Structure 1
Amino acid sequence: MNTLSLRTLLIALPALFTLSGCTTPDSQPDQPLPDPDAVLEKLTRANDYWQEENPEPGWAFWEHAAYHTGNMEAYFVTGDQDYLDYSLRWGERNDWMGAKSDQPSEWKYSYGETDEFVLFGDWQICFQTYIDLYEITGDREKIERALEVMEYQMATDASDYWWWADGLYMVMPVMTKLYQVTGDELYLEKLHEYFTYAKSIMYDEETGLFFRDAKYVYPEHKSLNGRKDFWARGDGWVFAGLAKVLEDLPENHKHRDEYLGIYRKMADTLAQAQQPGGYWTRSLLDPEHAPGYETSGTAFFTYGYLWGINNGELDRDTYLPVALKSWEYLSETALKDSGMVGYIQPIGERAIPDQVVDADSTANFGVGAFLLAASEMYRLVEQ
């Protein structure tokens, strides 16, 4: 079964039967949904603008790769060949690789932007798109480097590969996608091993949220008002990453309930932190720390909610109002008439008081997050 038809089947499943603890479409509230054509127009407006303004594919590092995860979802729902070709050109330009060192003895996984940091997750997120393109084309060249790198990594004794929250989005879906390609259970075992380490240093049991990394754990680090400081985009990476994992993980897998429980607890906490305007502030539980609109975290959360609703993993009555409110912010405030997506916090790792984030603040990874959200919204309303 090809990728597009598989995704279509997965979207349809919740309408066919009731999953435990979840609502069916028959029990949804009487709430108006966006018009499908309007959603599609906003999706294409944003993506066409980005590709027209950025005709040359960039390098394979995380910020470009995160955009391409959204571009591929835009392709899956639109079938637009230009979108597919854009990601194909990007993969070809980067030789279907992340970091390019061919000496495993020098491979590292601390932060690094040069070619020896092959095991650093910011260089591995590109594999998500390469795998999607392999599924479409059948060209195994597109995943040979991904297989080489991840098989080498899994053969090591280290478990501390994911030491920052962003890494959970960057690499968890790579491992479930490669499991889907190969059938090798080791991908799922190592995924759980690495995730367990990440939880041990970043996870907050009380809220169900993740600190960005060990530097920001409470009470050693606090927000301006002395609260736990959870960075919106950091938790956005995790929430969206868990949705992607759950999409590809077998229904009966022994660790599925653990991932699903964390995902649902995050959904509950995040719903309580949403601002009246539909967005989330950069410090989730201390809005005064860095007030105002922020699009990247909001878009990842919107995607995560909509994926859960579409796939029967989140209660529709409870969370559809959250997703509709955040989509209204994304589509009416963040998205300009030109197609630019604004209010995206620049590259960083925390909520920074007094940092300027305005209507002209845009970035590739934030556009990718917007496309993820728009694609899931389209799947919701086209049914």
Structure 2
Amino acid sequence: MKPLKIFGILTLLTMTYLCQAQEIKPDEVKKIMERVADWQIAHFTDLYSGSEEPHHPLDWTNGALYVGMVKWAAMADNEKYYNWLVDIGEKYEWKLHFRKYFADDHTVGQMYLELYRKYQDPNMIEPTKEQFNFIMLHPAKTSLKWNTPYHQDRWNWCDALFMAPPVWAKLFKITGEQKYLDFMMAEYKATTDFLFDKEEHLYYRDESYMGQLDHGTKIFWSRGNGWVFAGLTNIMNELNPKSKEYKYFRGIYRKMAKKILQIQTPAGHWAMSLLGQEFYPTPETSGSSFYTYGLAWGINKGILDRETYGLAVKKGWEAMVSYVTKDGMLGFVQPIGAAPGKAWEDKTEVYGTGAFLSAGSEVYKLYGGK
């Protein structure tokens, strides 16, 4: 046998051994999740992204944190996480944030509805039901085009598909009332028809990025598409897998998953401009955590093949863990924005923590956690 061929075989065997030797351990996943959750709660009122005051507890930034925190609370061996979330809901009388139609201000509803499932307290969901009933009776008739009057009264930016649709889907599942699902489907399809690139199978952040190029590549913002990908899983969790609605979302999910697999960086994260790895080498952990979450979820649900997608999840999770400090702060979270930009090792954001905890919840299951 030729020496080069022997070397190739030995290299393959060595890589296989190392991959097996470094198998992710469920108890280690829980430990790092706990460290990150505890750090974030202790630093909940810190200033982020140049803010002059802490994010409002009902702001979308914290809403995304709660989406992950409630997943962690269900795994944790301590009720303090549920108690922390309930205290926030009670303080604000289970109301959504202040803008009636704006999807970002509906995000916190995901946490409210999950807490209702645990505690069965109608007060936890009544304000959300009342507001959504109003929206259905007085639907926004504005354009999805950017910079038109009241344009964000509808879901005309891709992040919105994480913020609001899962709330509508959860409300449908909890109440059994078809009207919530029907409204969500109509609006989601309108946004997808408008923002989804049928060639790249990714979403533009909003209309203003269509036709623009960054170093010769189309601009697909990593976190924005991460929001969409995670939102798809959170919606499908509420639907009957045999329903036409579920199959619609699964179709989008599979197309995105295939693309996401193709563009993962060798380091395990995803570039801030998804098609421009060479121009954005800095890691970004909020979008990357949501891709890791979504891919792991798909394997756990039998939608994705583990042999094809498993290594991407492993690389993604290990990369995310490597950016957690010994105290539990997740670094390299891009500040608030709407486009590819910069991130720093010593800077974080609450929504990054939420994405990380979401990822951990599915990675834990994938590697045998109960």
User: Could you state the TM-score of these two structures normalised by the residue count of structure 2?
Assistant: 0.86
2:213 corresponds to which residue?
222
Provide, for residues 2-61 of structure 1, a one-character-per-residue CA deviation record: whole Å limited to 9, x for no partner: xxxxxxxxxxxxxxxxxxxxxxxxxxx979631111111111011111112227994201
Q: Kindly tell me the number of residue pairs found equivalent between the two proteins.
A: 332
Partner Cα separation in structure 1 for residue 293 and residue 179 of structure 2: 28
Query: Matches of residues 290-369 of structure 1 in structure 2 within 5 Å?
Result: 290-332=280-322, 334-352=323-341, 355=342, 357-369=343-355
* CA RMSD of superposed structures (Å): 1.7
- Please list every run of 5 or more consecutive structure 1 residues that lacks an aligned counterpart in the other structure: 1-28, 100-114
* 1:70 paired to 2:68: yes
Query: Matches of residues 49-128 of structure 1 in structure 2 within 5 Å?
Result: 49-54=39-44, 58-99=56-97, 115=98, 117-128=99-110
Residue 184 of structure 2 aligns to a residue whose secondary structure is: helix
Letter of the 2:328 counterpart? G
Q: How much has 1:80 moved relative to structure 2?
A: 2.3
Contact kept, 8 Å, 2:296 with 2:362, in 1: the verdict is yes
Partner Cα separation in structure 2 for residue 32 and residue 290 of structure 1: 28
1:271 corresponds to which residue?
261
Q: How much has 1:289 moved relative to structure 2?
A: 3.5
Partner Cα separation in structure 1 for residue 165 and residue 84 of structure 2: 24
Q: Which residue among 346, 362, 367 is the counterpart of 1:376?
A: 362
Q: How much has 1:288 moved relative to structure 2?
A: 3.3
* 1:165 paired to 2:168: no
1:17 corresponds to which residue?
none
Partner Cα separation in structure 2 for residue 77 and residue 55 of structure 1: 24
* 1:211 paired to 2:201: no
Q: How much has 1:93 moved relative to structure 2?
A: 2.1
Contact kept, 8 Å, 2:239 with 2:245, in 1: the verdict is no
Partner Cα separation in structure 2 for residue 33 and residue 314 of structure 1: 20
Residue 346 of structure 2 aligns to a residue whose secondary structure is: coil
Contact kept, 8 Å, 1:207 with 1:265, in 2: the verdict is no
Q: Give 1 or 2 for the bigger CA radius of gyration.
A: 2
Contact kept, 8 Å, 1:125 with 1:171, in 2: the verdict is yes
Partner Cα separation in structure 2 for residue 342 and residue 93 of structure 1: 30
Partner Cα separation in structure 2 for residue 93 and residue 283 of structure 1: 39
Partner Cα separation in structure 1 for residue 67 and residue 78 of structure 2: 15
Provide, for residues 229-279 of structure 1, a one-character-per-residue CA deviation record: whole Å limited to 9, x for no partner: 100000000000001111111122122222101101100101111000000
Provide, for residues 151-194 of structure 1, a one-character-per-residue CA deviation record: whole Å limited to 9, x for no partner: 11122344651111111000111011001111011111111100
Partner Cα separation in structure 2 for residue 342 and residue 32 of structure 1: 23
- Please list every run of 5 or more consecutive structure 2 residues that lacks an aligned counterpart in the other structure: 1-18, 47-54, 145-153
Letter of the 1:137 counterpart? Y
Contact kept, 8 Å, 1:231 with 1:283, in 2: the verdict is yes
Partner Cα separation in structure 1 for residue 129 and residue 295 of structure 2: 31
Q: Which residue among 222, 228, 233 is the counterpart of 2:223?
A: 233
Provide, for residues 59-102 of structure 1, a one-character-per-residue CA deviation record: whole Å limited to 9, x for no partner: 20100111011100001112421111111111122221123xxx
Letter of the 2:165 counterpart? M
Kindly tell me: are residues 79 and 150 of structure 1, through their superposed partners in 2, closer, same or farther at Cα, counting changes over 3 Å? farther
Residue 314 of structure 1 aligns to a residue whose secondary structure is: coil
Kindly tell me: are residues 229 and 139 of structure 1, through their superposed partners in 2, closer, same or farther at Cα, counting changes over 3 Å? same
Kindly tell me: are residues 92 and 55 of structure 1, through their superposed partners in 2, closer, same or farther at Cα, counting changes over 3 Å? farther
* 1:147 paired to 2:152: no
Moved more, 35-44 or 158-167: 158-167
Partner Cα separation in structure 2 for residue 365 and residue 94 of structure 1: 20
Partner Cα separation in structure 1 for residue 190 and residue 359 of structure 2: 29
Contact kept, 8 Å, 1:168 with 1:241, in 2: the verdict is yes
Kindly tell me: are residues 157 and 71 of structure 1, through their superposed partners in 2, closer, same or farther at Cα, counting changes over 3 Å? closer
Letter of the 2:161 counterpart? L
Contact kept, 8 Å, 1:77 with 1:379, in 2: the verdict is no
* 1:250 paired to 2:248: no
2:250 corresponds to which residue?
260
Query: Matches of residues 14-29 of structure 1 in structure 2 within 5 Å?
Result: none
Residue 288 of structure 1 aligns to a residue whose secondary structure is: helix
Letter of the 2:360 counterpart? A
Q: Which residue among 178, 181, 187 is the counterpart of 2:174?
A: 181
* 1:38 paired to 2:28: yes
Partner Cα separation in structure 2 for residue 175 and residue 207 of structure 1: 28
Contact kept, 8 Å, 2:64 with 2:350, in 1: the verdict is yes
Partner Cα separation in structure 2 for residue 258 and residue 324 of structure 1: 28
Letter of the 1:313 counterpart? I
Partner Cα separation in structure 2 for residue 208 and residue 152 of structure 1: 34
